[in-house]
Amino acid sequence: MTETIIDLKKITVAFKDGENQVQAVKDVDLQVEKGDIYGIVGYSGAGKSTLVRVINLLQKPTSGEVHINNQNLLKLKPVELRQARTKIGMIFQHFNLMKSRTILGNVEYPLLKTKLSKKDRIQRATELLKLVGLEQRKNDYPRQLSGGQKQRVAIARALANNPDILISDEATSALDPKTTLSILKLLKRLNQTLGLTIVLITHEMQAVKEICNHVAVMQKGKIVERGNIEDIFSTPQKKLTQEFINIATNVGPAVEKVTENPSFKLLTQKQQLVQLNFIGHSTEQPIISTLAKQFDVDGNILFANVEQLHEETLGFMILVLTGESKNIETAIQFLKENQVRVKRLNEVPKSEVQS
C-alpha cells in the first residue's frame, strides 16, 4: 500500500516586487508517496525552489494547504512546527557549510539543539560521515574538500535528525558529470537503505533519469506535466517536456546536427528523415530489416541511443528512409502499429504523400 507523505493542495505563492506582484507558484497540487524519489524539473525562474520551500514552510504559501506526514503544517504551533521541520532535511547547490567548523562539527551542528550528550552527538555525526564515505576526513575543514565531498558532508548534516524527507535543491548543479552521478547514486542508496523520500529539484532531466521514479515539469509557476518516469520519457505530451527529454537523451543535439548539415537540403522526394522513439518490446524487433524486406524501404541510421529506465527500455533513432513514397507511408504506418513513435523531420511535397 502506498502512503502519501507530501500533500500540497492548491498552493499559490505571490511576492511583492515593488508595485507589482509576482506569482512564483500558481495553484499547484503535488502529492509524493512515501519512499519515492520525485523530480521537479524546470528552467530557471519556473518556481521550483519556491514550491519546495513550501514543503517545510521555509516559504509560507499565500494560499493553499501543506500536509506532511498527515500533519497540516499551517495549523501547527511554533514548537510543533519546529519538530516537524527536523524531519525534513534539505541540501543546496552551494552546500552552505560552516567554514570555521570541521567536517564533524558541521554534521554535529543540527544535533546541538537535541538532548543528546556531546559523546552521543560525536558518535552520531561520525556514523553519518561513515554513511557518506567521509569518516576519514572528519577533522578537515570544508575548504580542504572537493565540491562532491562538500555535498556529501551537507547530505550527512541533512540526515542528522533522521528525516523522513530530503529536499535536494539543485544539489548537483555545481558539480561535474562524474561527481553528479556519484552524488545521485548516494541519494538512491539512502532512499533504499533508509526509506528516505527524496524531492529532487533540477533543471536537468538527465539527473531525473538517473534516480527518479516520478517527475513533474514546471513552467511559469505551474506543473505542466507529471507522471512516472517511463511514461514521461516514452510519451511526453508537452513541448517543454519533449525539449528536456531530447536534451537528456542527446536526441535534441543530434536532430540539430542532422538538420543543419548541408546534405539535409539534398534529400530527394523519395527520402524521408524521421525520428523514431521505441518503447519496451519494440526495441527488440529487427525494425530496419523488416522495413527493407516487407516494404522495400531502406533505412540509413544517422543516430541511435538506447536508455534503460528501471525495467523499461527506450530507444531513440534518427533515420533516412529511402523508397517509393507510397512504400514509405506504409512503412511509417507499420512502425506506428508496432508502438514506435514516428516524427517526420523533413517535409515531403504533398503530391508525393499518399494517404
In terms of CB distance, is 45 or 280 closer to ligand ATP?
Answer: 45
In terms of CB distance, is 156 or 215 closer to ligand ATP?
Answer: 215
| Angle (CA) 245 6 221, round 5° | 50
In terms of CB distance, is 60 or 326 closer to ligand ATP?
Answer: 60
Contacts of residue 334, Cβ cutoff 8 Å, sequence gap at least 6: 290, 291, 294, 295
Cβ at position 14, least distance to ligand ATP in Å:
9
Cβ at position 48, least distance to ligand ATP in Å:
4
Q: How many whole angstroms from its chain centre is CA 268?
A: 40
In terms of CB distance, is 19 or 311 closer to ligand ATP?
Answer: 19
Cβ at position 313, least distance to ligand ATP in Å:
31
Helix intervals (H) in the chain: 48-55, 78-85, 103-108, 118-131, 147-158, 177-194, 205-211, 229-234, 239-248, 251-260, 287-295, 325-337
In terms of CB distance, is 138 or 222 closer to ligand ATP?
Answer: 222
Cβ at position 322, least distance to ligand ATP in Å:
44
DSSP class of residue 88? E
Instruction: Provide the b/e sequence for 304-315 (b: ≥16 CB within 10 Å).
Output: eeebebeebbbb
Interacting residue ranges for ligand ATP, rule: CB under 6 A? 15, 17, 22, 24, 42, 44-50
Cβ at position 212, least distance to ligand ATP in Å:
17
- How buried is 21 (Cβ within 10 angstroms: 0-12 exposed, 13-18 middle, 19+ buried)? exposed
Q: Are 54 and 14 in contact (CB under 8 A)?
A: no
Beta bridge partners of 341: 277
In terms of CB distance, is 27 or 230 closer to ligand ATP?
Answer: 27
Cβ at position 199, least distance to ligand ATP in Å:
13
